[in-house]
Chain A
Amino acid sequence: MTNGAISLERTFSAGTANALELRGVSKTFGALSALDDVTITIGPGEKRAVLGSNGAGKTTLFNCITGDFLPSAGAIRFFGEDITNAPAHERIRRGLRRTYQISLLFAGLTVVDNVYLACKGVARGRFSLMRPGRRDTIMEGAEELVRTVRLEASRDTKVSDLSYGQQRQLEIAMALAGAPRFILFDEPAAGLSPGERRELIEILSGLPSHMGYIIIEHDMDVALRVSESVTMMHNGRIFKEGKPSEIEDDEEVQSLYLGGGNA
């Protein structure tokens, strides 16, 4: 959305390789094994949910993909490129984005300014002292994203005055800035009211079909409605993969996930 040529090129390359491939990825902390031989393949434009109890390794999985941690073993490929040991900003530049569980927004700025900063981060003129005009393409892109996450009514509200749910929506807009190719959503529905959850489902379903993502979500209802495939994790391992409908009906999953996740 910032540059037509680049996003077109990305769409082409997106067609040729899998969006994300993890091969035997493990991560250990001392004696503790947080991820154990995880292999996941996500096709272009695929929307995947990752489920599992607390401590199943979901967030560690995200941290390995974004480069916050380097995996102890295994390889990660992003649209065919090996990014196993690439630094975090390198991955961002290639179109990988994530949202955070804890709010990392700019509390003193308005909604549209937050999104504008996120869009401007990958564009030129970051030191400009001239205000963006009405026709500024970056500003237009930011406005568009604010509409995408349905925050246009709060466009000029400061983040510190937003409700929790609105902050989560804004977090999604920030992740969408700068033409991402793939997004990692870390429990976007946590702490949201039922109404806000419905809105979240609509926002996620409204994303362009070529934009793939992984969503970590505790709320089965949300997770299964916004995903095309599901990966169940348990104790750092892949436990089951399948279509949402299969997972929903699976008895093992039911007993593990719905009855006390501490198993």
Chain B
Amino acid sequence: MNEAAWGRKLDWTSSLRINPAYWVVAAILLILPAFASNFILYQLFGWTFILGMIALSLMFLAGYGGMVSLAQMTVAGIAGYMVAIFGDSAITDISQGWPWYISIPLALLVAALFATATGWLAGRTEGIYTIMITLAIAAAFFYFFNQNYVIFNGFSGFNGVLPPKLFGLDWRHPIAFYYLTLFWAAAWYFAAIYVSRSPFGLALQGIRDNPRRMAALGYHVTAHKVAAYAIAALPAATGGILLTWQSAQISPGTAGIGPAIDILIVAVIGGIGHPAGAFIGAFIYVILKTFAVDLIVLVGLGSERFRLLIGLGFLVVVFWSPDGILGLWEKLKQSRGLNPLLRRAGRRS
């Protein structure tokens, strides 16, 4: 089993020594609104950070815990539905209109409970079973959202779901929304890196590498897995709420089977071994989704061939670089004998 290889790139996390590359990236992201257009801020980067957060929750489970869950988009979707149901939307029959400080925590809580239940079902299985069960759960909830009109308003879902006017700001304004998504993306990114070296995070990685040995050392393997699902629900749920605010609506299609697979694609293309991979993959995905259509039309194919392009790109990545873009980066570094991000010669040995 090559599962260990998927979590190879963890040595980035082993030191929090802040290197220049981080400062450069941080500086660019912080001053971006000064020169970028609203479209770039709201559509490209807002969406990148949101997708990145949801992919990060998959990365946390898969890269650290060896559990590939396709239900993370469903977790995000549930959180989005909950802010629409507990908070405000155009569907006033269903929406409760509770204030944000109740509806948002409640949304996070419900999403975490759902993830815990998913983890309880999937956590007692391993590898491929986890993928299959979470895929089945994602599909079941997609159909459930579609068919249930009493709570989830069926096919049409909810529109007019807007963020609260906190501090007198319109959070859907491109610049405000950009900083909002950037803040949460950065927060969850650093949280994931921090937790990876905590006793819980280490135990999770131990379970990924060798569950039997972990059990022999006195760890409750299943309990750790379920807890990982609960924790990983938080970035996904945050992403789901922000996604709902971004388009001001949520419907079953938001958390369908296609989007669930797309989250996997995002995490894998970026590199599933490190939190950065989730955001790199999300950025590539968003750029492709936004501009590839023009490119395909240029080549002479119909614009609807986008999924063919994504599928082929995904195939190329998983065939030749199972560790995604970060894996390619790592290979490049090794071939040059220098680690530009850490300013250290190759791997320490």
Contact = CB atoms under 8 A, between A and B. Distances in A.
Interface of A: 88-89, 92-93, 104-110, 113-114, 116-118, 120-122, 125-132, 154, 156-158, 160-161
Contact of B202 (A105, A117, A157): A117
A122 B209 contact: no
A102 B245 CA distance: 53
Interface stretch (B20-28, B75-83, B138-146, B211-219): B211-219
Contacts of A88: 216
Interface in B1-41: 4, 7-8, 10-11, 14
B195 interface: yes
Interface in B195-223: 195, 197-203, 205-206, 208-210, 212-220, 223
B14 A156 contact: yes
B165 interface: no
Contact of A126 (B209, B216, B219): B219
Given A89-B218, A157-B348, A108 B198 contact: no
Interface string B230-242: 0100000000000
Contact of B205 (A105, A108, A130, A161): A108
A120 B347 contact: no
Given A104-B213, A121-B219, A128 B200 contact: yes
Contacts of B217: 92, 117-118, 121-122
A132 B199 contact: yes
B329 interface: no
Interface residues of B, number: 36
A129 B216 contact: no
A131 B13 CA distance: 12
A61 B200 CA distance: 35
B209 A128 contact: no
A107 B4 contact: yes
B202 A113 contact: yes
Contacts, number: 101
B227 interface: yes
Contacts of B208: 108
Nearest to A130: B198
B209 A120 contact: no
11 contacts: A108-B4, A108-B7, A108-B205, A109-B10, A121-B217, A121-B219, A126-B200, A129-B198, A130-B199, A131-B197, A157-B347
Given A113-B197, A154-B349, 7 more contacts: A89-B218, A106-B210, A107-B209, A127-B199, A127-B227, A129-B201, A158-B11
A154 B4 CA distance: 20
A89 B10 CA distance: 30
B224 A127 contact: yes
A104 B212 contact: yes
A181 to B, nearest CB: 16
A124 B14 CA distance: 23
B194 interface: yes
The 10 closest A-B pairs by CB, nearest first: A121-B217, A121-B218, A106-B209, A107-B4, A108-B7, A128-B199, A104-B213, A106-B206, A117-B206, A108-B4
